[in-house]
Amino acid sequence: MSRKKMIITCLLLGGQVILLAQKPKTDTLSKQKIDTTKFGSAVLQEVKVVAKKNMIASSIDRKVYTTAQDIMSQSGSASDILRNVPSVEVDIDGNVSLRGSGDMQILINGRPSPLMGTNRAQALQQIPANTIERIEVITNPSAKYRPDGTAGMINIVLKKNTKAGINGNITGNIGNKERANGSVNLNYKSGKWNLFGSYSLRQDERNRFSHTERTFYDSNSGKLTGTYQDYYRSKARPLAPFLRMGMEYTINKKNTIGISGNLLTTRLTRRDTTQRYFYDPNQQLTTRVNRERFAPAIEHENDVTAFWQHNFDKEGKEFRAEFTASTQSENESNYYRNVYSLPTNTVIPDNNFVIQHENNQQVTADWVNPVSSNVSFDYGYAGSFIQQEITFITQNYDAASGTVITNPLTTNTFRLNQQVHAAYATWSKSGDHWGIMGGLRAEQSLVHSNLVTKDSVVDNNYFMVFPTIHITYKLKNGQLQLNYSKRVNRPNGDNLNPFPEYMDNLNLRAGNPLLKPEIVHSIEFGYQWKSKSWSLVPSIYYRYKTNGFTTITQKLNDSVFLTTQQNLSNDQSAGFELIASYKASTWFTANLSNNIFYNLINFGTINLPKQKSIFAMSTNLNFSFNITKTTMVQSTCIFRSARQTIQGYFYPTFVSNLGLRQDLWQGKMSAIITVSDVFGSLRQRSYLQTPFLYQTALNYRDSQVFYVGFNYRFGKTIKKAEEKLQYDNAL
């Protein structure tokens, strides 16, 4: 393939996919040196690479985090690895944010997955990190990709070995407090067949603690009406097996088919106790109660994907059709005992049960069509179909019968049916210095909410158009890029379900069936500079959001509060991000990721301040030392500054991780030692202030985790008469 055509193929996808290439016409081409800084990350098959991959590969449009060099990937979870990825933050509960925003799309192998649905924080803590090949962060994807997530998207690419022959690895880790995990990865490739699979089992220990203090006021007079304190502790031991299998078959030079699937099951039982103390305005204790919880739960996330790819006679022209079907189910039982010791000794039980089920189908058809040597035109269709049902059953104590009975006033069922039909087209052109790609995506959304308990139906249909543009200019020692995209954050089933959850009878949460999607306009300007030892990628970005989801806490009575969301705010945010990498020969590497952003929120209600500004910063620093050729030490430090919220603020957080890897048997085996949260500093403090409530809260978990383990690699490569370059075009 000519150099120009390779540039066109990359531009064609707006830098949002990894380079596509055809089979080289001559053997000499495979020996030529390819400048991957122009094209993004390339995955070479059947080519032996002696040098180690950089942990962070930063370009203007994306950040690629390769887990192979991260020691934590041998024992941690996907959530642990995401903490080390530039631009990404993970809080103490596993919630992920991108450049300070929690509104982003998380994909698995370039496609939506039930694993990343409403319980994605839970799933990310169960997916083994050693099943992940790389993590890609793209803040302004092209029109080819779904515009969901106002901050952009994160793509988690799972491992799929493509080496010929039989290859695989086995890992095992033992941690403190009876933690353990292990996995087996196997791959067989011969001729037209490629078979791959992995199985992992993870046993965790999760201990969480919190302390909350509240001061209540009369919103009219401002007088003190009472105070409240609680002390919470929770223990759970989730067990999560994760199975992945797949195959690909090359029918002929023009046609390839494949099928793959994932299965994740999580079983856990939570045991919680909340000690609650209520005081009157004179600070006299009026009520003392322990709320005890026993909660067995099981979750299933399954998906299967099939594809067919056809390559045309014209070089670079191809068609790919893909279908994904997935299911997600959750069954959680919560048995409570309210043990009063003041004013009287009383035990009052209550129960609630949560049953959720979701089916999801994704259909895509993509055409890659080079028009000439420097012009290309792509187009395609994407369909998304979601069917979800949420049932919430509550049982309260009946004094007459002395048993718990179902409460019809708080028992409810909610159903959601959502369809999104999208068509897209992108056009690109490249020159010696300039490159440009424009794209347009049109989507029709059909949202049907059924409040079964109230026999009420709410329809929320809308049509939207999403333009994108990417412009690049090549300099002597780097490249400039300017890009723009329009994006959306759609409310999910939990956001739309208006029935409150009575998991905590003092702190209720409910959705809003009239919630409209958030719309954001995002623009970014960046520069990439590289030398032999240094790589610098500074960028500035700006986002303007309308119909912003605003979380509101309302007072229902003297002690019960309801949290819900409304489309109240329009806000603007701007930031500066710097990704810097340094490599000193083969013994030392350092990676720095720093993000500073400013957010100005405008509210359209008298119940909130007219405007509020938020300033925050996050820094991620990673060091790797090769003490010897076979011994590596790695340290990661993550700092997140204090940041304001709509009704309060969060205090700063800091965490540090440490790892040691010793290679044995000529690199076939590695011994691993990892320590998470070395200083035990991972704590989250928050403050909330409203006209009727002041609240301070401290949340922390048993985050100081030690692991000792091994990774054994094996394989037998089959020599082939003809080697060829292939590239991953999944995203």
All structural domains of the chain:
3-716 (2.40.170.20)
**Does 689 have pLDDT greater than 60?**
yes
- Overall average pLDDT of the 154-170 stretch: 83
3-state DSSP helix/strand/coil percent for the chain, to nearest 5? 5, 65, 30
Q: What local confidence, expressed as pLDDT, does residue 460 receive? A: 85
Sign of CA dihedral 68, 73, 74, 78: negative
Q: Which residues contact 195 (CB under 8 A, 6 or more apart)?
A: 187, 188, 189, 246, 247
Sign of CA dihedral 157, 85, 13, 522: positive
Burial-class residue 633 by CB neighbours within 10 Å (0-12, 13-18, 19+).
middle
Q: What local confidence, expressed as pLDDT, does residue 357 receive? A: 93
Burial-class residue 584 by CB neighbours within 10 Å (0-12, 13-18, 19+).
exposed
Query: Is 8 strand, coil or helix?
Result: helix
Average pLDDT, the chain: 83
Give me the count of residues in the chain: 731
Q: Which residues contact 607 (CB under 8 A, 6 or more apart)?
A: 552
Which DSSP symbol is given to 111? B
129 phi and psi, to 5 degrees?
Answer: -65, -30
Query: Is 340 strand, coil or helix?
Result: strand
Per-residue pLDDT reduced to its tens digit, 644-654 = 777 788 899 99
Per-residue pLDDT reduced to its tens digit, 103-148 = 888 888 887 776 776 678 778 887 888 888 899 998 888 899 889 8
Per-residue pLDDT reduced to its tens digit, 191-209 = 899 999 999 999 998 899 9
**Contact assessment for residue 435 and residue 151, using Cβ atoms and an 8 Å cutoff:** no
From 261-270, 510-519, 629-638, the region with the lowest mean pLDDT: 510-519
Instruction: Grade residue 428 by pLDDT with cuts at 50, 70 and 90.
Output: very high
Instruction: Grade residue 542 by pLDDT with cuts at 50, 70 and 90.
Output: very high
Instruction: Grade residue 608 by pLDDT with cuts at 50, 70 and 90.
Output: low
Q: What is the CA radius of gyration of the chain?
A: 27
Q: What local confidence, expressed as pLDDT, does residue 161 receive? A: 66
**Does 34 have pLDDT greater than 70?**
no
Q: What local confidence, expressed as pLDDT, does residue 605 receive? A: 54
The CA distance from 219 to 560, in Å, is 15
Q: Which residue has the higher pLDDT, 654 or 101?
A: 654
Per-residue pLDDT reduced to its tens digit, 450-485 = 989 888 888 889 899 999 999 999 888 788 989 999
Place of tokens 């210095």: 433
Burial-class residue 371 by CB neighbours within 10 Å (0-12, 13-18, 19+).
middle
Query: Is 471 strand, coil or helix?
Result: strand
**Does 606 have pLDDT greater than 80?**
no
- The 3-state secondary structure of 213-238, one letter per residue: EEEEECCCCCCEEEEEEEEEEEEECC
**Does 159 have pLDDT greater than 90?**
no
Q: What local confidence, expressed as pLDDT, does residue 445 receive? A: 93
Per-residue pLDDT reduced to its tens digit, 415-426 = 999 999 999 999
Q: What local confidence, expressed as pLDDT, does residue 731 receive? A: 31
Q: Which residues contact 479 (CB under 8 A, 6 or more apart)?
A: 37, 38, 60, 472, 473, 527, 528
Place of tokens 């189908």: 361
Q: What local confidence, expressed as pLDDT, does residue 230 receive? A: 95
The CA distance from 555 to 287, in Å, is 20
Name the β-bridge partners of 713.
169
The CA distance from 19 to 17, in Å, is 6
Q: What local confidence, expressed as pLDDT, does residue 583 receive? A: 86
81 phi and psi, to 5 degrees?
Answer: -70, -35
**Contact assessment for residue 414 and residue 497, using Cβ atoms and an 8 Å cutoff:** yes
Q: What local confidence, expressed as pLDDT, does residue 610 receive? A: 66
**Contact assessment for residue 251 and residue 192, using Cβ atoms and an 8 Å cutoff:** yes
Burial-class residue 523 by CB neighbours within 10 Å (0-12, 13-18, 19+).
middle
Which DSSP symbol is given to 476? S
Per-residue pLDDT reduced to its tens digit, 41-60 = 334 344 444 445 667 776 65
**Contact assessment for residue 492 and residue 511, using Cβ atoms and an 8 Å cutoff:** no
